[in-house]
Structure 1
Amino acid sequence: MNTIQIDVAVIGAGTAGLAALRAARAAGSSVLLIEGGDYGTTCARVGCMPSKLLIAAAESAHEARHADAFGVRLPGGVEIDGVAVMDRVRRERDRFVGFVVRGVDEIAAHERLRGHARFIDNTTLEVGGHTVVKAGRVVIATGSAANVPPPFRALGDRLVINDDVFNWETLPRSVAVFGPGVIGLELGQALSRLGVRVRVFGMSGSIGPISDPVIRDYALQAFNQDFYLDPAASVGRMVRDGDQVAIDFTDRDGVARSEQFDYVLSATGRSPNVKGLALENTGLALDERGVPLFDRDTLQCGNSTVFIAGDVNNVLPLLHEAADEGKLAGENAANYPRLAALARRAPIAVVFSDPQIAMVGQRFADLVPGSFVIGEVSFEDQGRSRVMLKNRGLMHVYADKASGRFLGAEWLGPRAENIAHTLAWAYQMGLSIEQMLAMPFYHPVVEEGLRTALRDAQARLG
């Protein structure tokens, strides 16, 4: 066994881990980055970027099919070349991953160590069976992995997770998607638009991150115009049948059906990557998932010299949040026992479906009934949206009755990813509805729909 003495050891070379390494080094500590898997962040390898590549192909196909409404004729129709679609997804995915890998390769050799880490005690790690790392402080940044319900595992190679989809060499004929969350909605709709027969099943009735029941009902109607979505499905038998999966279910109209699918895509959430870390050898208190209990502000685990950042802690599993948490964890590990608190940015979430879903600030479910008003706008008759034939959507903005302050928004609609940033800035600045309405709105733009919702909220505030 080799032995390494270091100030700060960082477990995990993803977004949070790389940010922690840089921050601890900048604070003057000696650092070591430990990674047992392939280099390349979740975002680049199996998340944000490859999913957007698949969605981009799907959007292209969808626009071509609907060009006739603009007087644009495509006499030959639209032909989907599944091999070409997936070839571009993989090539561009590998390009994004390559950027990350090159960045890691530029880290000094003495600051990198390959192998899976196991805790011997709070600050002593055994890595890959070849090295003992004695650290002053440790940052856990091991990310998360797709959660697969035990019954699904009997499906063998007919079961896939999002990681597998991006390695396909061509498109399948049919896929049953379980879980209408962010991943399920994005991939389910994209595959459907690329000619794959898709059924999306949920159990709880939820759709993406939406908590506002009116917006959720609108979303259900809108998505079902495009692909089959049942967020409260009644699914019976699901068995492997040769190279397919047979699924019995009751459809939305109460009709019993049985269908065959090439694959079942499990999109039922993600679990923290803590198995194999031997956290039971530490003195850390663990929750029911086996994750150390930690302070959400400082990211410190109990009163220890261990910190936890990124998707593994499941506070806000988003890339920009992982980067912020990693930076703070690295700084706090380097400066221990002097600890700073994380100044979190305005909450913002986007689902890259069509229409897009977005949430900013406080969710409807988090607000106190009777303490706020709702401003509403439908995008169905909104000028620019109708010009583009992107006029599906409904927005709710929430305003505090007492102060008039903008509290948050949930909506479905065109260009939501862009409008969400405008609202996140307004929320973080603590603006009121009146102050937001004093800002400029150009004509004709989709953002004029936001102004309509703000005016509605202002009227309800009196």
Structure 2
Amino acid sequence: MAEIHVDVAIIGAGTAGLAAERKARAEGARTLLIDPYFAGTTCASVGCMPSKLLIAAGNAAHNVRKAGEFGVETGEPRIDGPKVMARVRRLRDDFVSGVKKQIADLPDGVTVKATARFVSPTELSLDDGTQVLAKAIIIAAGSSPVIPAPFEDLGDVVITNETLFELEDLPQSIGVIGAGPLGLELAQTLARLGVQVEVFDRSAQLAGLDEGEPETSLRRALKAELGFHLEVEPEARRNDDGSVTVSWTENGEARQAHFEKLMVATGRAANLEGLDLEKSGLQLDDNGAPAFDKGTLQCGQSPVFIVGDANGARPILHEASTEGTIAGANAASYPDIKSFERFTRLQVMFTEPNMAKVGADPDEDTIVGRVDFADQGRARAMGVNQGVCEIYAKAKCGALTGATLVGPDAEHLAHLLCWEIENGSKASDLLNKPFYHPTLEEGLKTALKQICQEIGLPKPDSRDDAELPGDFGSD
């Protein structure tokens, strides 16, 4: 039986695994990156990039329809479904090829195409019969879509974000199970591409948002384009013609609808089955997942670390990369490890209007500043005046702590606020910085001023606080 001795073995060659291998090797460790496919990262192959390619197509069609609002008459766009999907796959494959080249450029002997199972906390068995003995092991196995029981036996009528992009043409109609960020992004863009779309969810709110003005504004905006059925428990059956019928009860009335496809977007689960984690010596929860420290990514006191979608804490690409780097450094220096300070939370949903969550959620010691973009000058000029943004700050000093943003270009506003939270800025600090007129960023001034006024801070020594010509609505 062949044996491989290394310092750090990494299970999974996604974003987190690649970052972990790179960092561990940079720290002088002998590394082994184990993956059964080396097919590219989730982001490049089935996640961030293909979804944004499809969203771009949907937005292009939407802009054509909306052009009449500005006196530009164009009529209803003609959607060529096969061309839309071909472009998505062509550019998606280009992104994936970049990842594959990165893997191909790794030093000889660093990668092995295989599946791995734990034999002990420091030993893995590969499906080719090889035994891997390592001083430390990093689990970066990623995640896969969850198909709830009511939909798991429907065959190919059910699609997920991992199979949607392989369709040769757009369906005529689709039911979407799940009103989280992924489901909403894809539901809206499919509707903009001419697909009849209905969204179902057991929750009363969209995108995991708490009840409040931002969520209400998001729901109001999306209802103009999508059919929603919230607080329902849908069931489905496959029809003889290959379509699907969804049944549910809403407001006490039994209802049903027929769709060509059913997209299940109810979340993802870590790929931990098959790793034989019970042999790793780790303490496992009821779902078979190990407990871990979020600052070190170490599982208990063992030489095992878990990162990215595999731990499910922050399933976002930049967080996966950060976690891989942290775990790679700690695995290389094990047992001498350290805790790393994590970035301020930054999550974005790419619907229109965008939704973003930044930093911490509000608590009893939080001051909330709010701006409604319905009356914000630049937003009205561009015809995108939808959404409510909230900014959170400490009640005692006005230091920024977080934000919930629903509005035009909120993906960019969220970055600005995230950076300022990282810098420890106060609401008054931002008001003392220049705001170009007319911009969407000016809308933030309304919320920032509310925070300062509620705390009772002196009026900021702003150099551009004069009334500006044409500055109608919110600042």
TM surpasses 0.5: yes
Cα distance in 2 for residues equivalent to 1:356 and 1:250: 30
- Code of the residue aligned with 1:57 in structure 2: it is A
Q: CA deviation at 1:233?
A: 2.5
Give the match for residue 400 of structure 2. 406
Give the match for residue 13 of structure 2. 13
Q: Alignment partner of 2:448: what SS?
A: helix
Encode CA deviations 1:422-443: one digit per residue, 9 max, x unaligned: 0001111111111111111111
Cα distance in 1 for residues equivalent to 2:214 and 2:252: 24
Q: CA deviation at 1:8?
A: 0.7
Q: CA deviation at 1:155?
A: 1.0
Give the match for residue 143 of structure 1. 142
Cα distance in 1 for residues equivalent to 2:158 and 2:141: 24
Give the match for residue 435 of structure 1. 429
Q: Alignment partner of 2:374: what SS?
A: coil
Give the match for residue 95 of structure 2. 96
Encode CA deviations 1:51-92: one digit per residue, 9 max, x unaligned: 0000000000000001011111115x3100000000000111
Encode CA deviations 1:33-56: one digit per residue, 9 max, x unaligned: 000134200100111000000000
Cα distance in 2 for residues equivalent to 1:311 and 1:248: 32
Indicate if the aligned counterparts of 1:234 and 1:249 stay in contact, CA closer than 8 A.
Answer: yes
Indicate if the aligned counterparts of 2:390 and 2:404 stay in contact, CA closer than 8 A.
Answer: yes
Q: CA deviation at 1:255?
A: 5.3
The structure-2 alpha-carbon separation of the partners of 1:123 and 1:222, relative to structure 1 and needing over 3 Å to count, comes to same
Q: Alignment partner of 2:338: what SS?
A: coil
Cα distance in 1 for residues equivalent to 2:254 and 2:277: 47
Q: Alignment partner of 2:153: what SS?
A: helix
RMSD in angstroms over aligned alpha carbons?
A: 1.3
Cα distance in 1 for residues equivalent to 2:222 and 2:259: 21
Give the match for residue 301 of structure 1. 299
Cα distance in 2 for residues equivalent to 1:115 and 1:2: 14
Structure 1 unaligned residues grouped into runs of 5+ = none
Indicate if the aligned counterparts of 1:360 and 1:423 stay in contact, CA closer than 8 A.
Answer: yes
Encode CA deviations 1:293-312: one digit per residue, 9 max, x unaligned: 11111111111111111111
- Code of the residue aligned with 2:13 in structure 1: it is A
- Code of the residue aligned with 2:309 in structure 1: it is D
Does residue 418 (structure 1) correspond to residue 416 (structure 2)? The answer is no
Cα distance in 2 for residues equivalent to 1:62 and 1:14: 34
Cα distance in 1 for residues equivalent to 2:326 and 2:401: 27
Q: Alignment partner of 2:96: what SS?
A: helix
Cα distance in 2 for residues equivalent to 1:144 and 1:213: 31
Cα distance in 1 for residues equivalent to 2:262 and 2:356: 27
- Code of the residue aligned with 1:231 in structure 2: it is L
Give the match for residue 220 of structure 1. 219
Q: CA deviation at 1:250?
A: 4.1
The structure-2 alpha-carbon separation of the partners of 1:323 and 1:431, relative to structure 1 and needing over 3 Å to count, comes to same
Q: Alignment partner of 1:66: what SS?
A: helix
Give the match for residue 109 of structure 1. 108
Give the match for residue 378 of structure 1. 372
Q: Alignment partner of 2:375: what SS?
A: coil
**TM-score computed with the length of structure 2 as normaliser:** 0.93
- Code of the residue aligned with 2:140 in structure 1: it is A
Indicate if the aligned counterparts of 1:325 and 1:342 stay in contact, CA closer than 8 A.
Answer: no
- Code of the residue aligned with 2:209 in structure 1: it is I
Matches of residues 320-399 of structure 1 in structure 2 within 5 Å?
320-364=318-362, 367-368=363-364, 371-399=365-393
Indicate if the aligned counterparts of 1:6 and 1:31 stay in contact, CA closer than 8 A.
Answer: yes
Provide the identity percentage.
44
Give the match for residue 31 of structure 1. 31
- Code of the residue aligned with 1:433 in structure 2: it is A
Q: Alignment partner of 1:109: what SS?
A: coil
Give the match for residue 118 of structure 2. 119
Q: Alignment partner of 1:185: what SS?
A: helix
Q: CA deviation at 1:247?
A: 1.4
Indicate if the aligned counterparts of 2:245 and 2:256 stay in contact, CA closer than 8 A.
Answer: yes
Give the match for residue 71 of structure 1. 71
Matches of residues 107-256 of structure 1 in structure 2 within 5 Å?
107-235=106-234, 237-242=235-240, 243-250=242-249, 256=254
Give the match for residue 285 of structure 1. 283
Q: CA deviation at 1:381?
A: 1.3
